[in-house]
Copies of this chain bind each other. A is one copy, B any other.
Amino acid sequence: MHFSCSQKALMHSISIVQKGVSAKTTLPILKGIYIETNNEGLRLVGTDLEIGIEHVMEADVLQEGIVVVDARLFSEIIRKLPDAEVDITLKENNQLEIKCASTEFNILVYSPDEFPELPIVEEDQVYEIAQELFKGMIRQTVFATSQDESRPILTGVLMEIEENTLNMVALDGYRLALRKGKISGNSNHKVVVPAKTLNEVNRILNPDEEEPLHITLTNNHALFTAGKTKLISRLLEGEFINYKQILPKEHRSKVTIKGKEILNSIERASLLAKEGRNNLVRFVVNDEKMVITSNSELGKVHEEINIVLEGEDIEIAFNSKYFIDALKVIDDEEVCLEFTTNLSPGILKPLANENYTYLVLPVRLASN
């Protein structure tokens, strides 16, 4: 194998596939980046067996070949090279020679035979979705997945495609995030994608890129293609919770409020709440104002916010963390809160559009 390319372009490619490489693994080969030269240039692959990332780039190929290099060492070396042409040759005895300006490295490489092949996903049915939109949908859902590995299905996000609408749903037993978006394609699908996968997909997305993300779904795998990068991931097995049943159909109180104001107030209240149990903050909705209070051994806090209330007054308590998480990912200026009783879930939505619904279970107060 012998090729040359620019240091910057090679570094860019490495940084993409390196995210797929196992950080901790008992299989040494998985610490490597697989590099294949062919008549089109370079194909680089990193995988941890759950996720695989492949990227192709142009290069001046003088001799075809395959090699697996230690991802960390190789990326450190390439990063430190001057901004010039890099010339790479596979020598005898698994030695890789890396030349750039007046620098010459010779490093030991792995034999590529043991490197696992990525699963083959036939791209006969492809969905297309704007990169910026999908990035936003990941941001508004993935944080609500469960961290608890005892219910693996909840560590993923449901992707439900029906009639050119994509519903992404995450829930962890205490809150639920639902984001709707437009997707094009000629089929329907219902799969659960690991949160980790979506975080990695998020990295390869470019919100300024006009070319859409391509998604192909099979029974076991999802393939995401953004430009010259492909990310392939296993899906989670099992049935996702019937989330539509959980969403309340009606409410008795509807509060309209500035998103930034309620976020700041809850964050301040949580400074004391987080020292106590449950991160407990209490909302008292009354006419034209909402009072947010919290207390712990350290002291107490009292916040007042002007609101527009439609319906009944209510007093209800929540884990502040769940509200903060969602308020941070809603960019709309005004949001609304919908309540029924202080024992039934609260709903948070942007005021101006219907594409996002966030549900939180209340905390039962001792005085209830």
Q: Which residues from chain A sit less than 8 Å from chain B, CB to CB?
A: 70, 73, 76-77, 80-82, 95-96, 102-108, 264-265, 267-268, 271-272, 297-305
Contacts and interface: CB of A to CB of B under 8 A. Distances in A.
A297 B108 contact: yes
A81 B265 CA distance: 9
Contact of A303 (B103, B108, B264): B103
Contacts of A103: 265, 268, 301-303
A102 B304 contact: yes
A277 B305 CA distance: 62
Given A102-B303, A102-B305, A103-B268, 8 more contacts: A76-B271, A80-B264, A82-B264, A103-B301, A105-B301, A105-B302, A106-B300, A108-B299
B301 A267 contact: no
B268 A107 contact: no
Given A95-B299, A299-B95, A304-B102, A77 B107 contact: no
A318 to B, nearest CB: 18
A354 to B, nearest CB: 31
B299 A105 contact: yes
Contacts of A297: 108
A305 B76 CA distance: 21
A268 B102 contact: no
A176 to B, nearest CB: 28
A95 B299 CA distance: 8
Contacts of A73: 271, 298
Contacts of A272: 105, 107
Nearest to A291: B102
B301 A104 contact: yes
B107 A298 contact: yes
A239 B297 CA distance: 49
Nearest to A271: B76
The 3 closest A-B pairs by CB, nearest first: A107-B299, A102-B304, A104-B302
A268 B73 CA distance: 11
A272 B80 CA distance: 12
Contact of A268 (B81, B96, B303, B304): B81
Contacts of A301: 103-106
Nearest to A302: B104
A105, A106, A108, A305 pick with most chain B CB within 10 angstroms = A105
Nearest to A265: B103
A266 to B, nearest CB: 10
Contacts of A267: 80
Contacts of A81: 268
A268 B105 CA distance: 9
B299 A106 contact: yes
Contacts of A264: 80, 82
A75 to B, nearest CB: 10
12 contacts: A73-B271, A77-B268, A80-B264, A80-B267, A82-B264, A103-B268, A103-B301, A104-B302, A105-B301, A106-B300, A107-B272, A108-B297
Contact of A108 (B77, B105, B265, B298): B298
Nearest to A109: B299
A105 B273 CA distance: 12
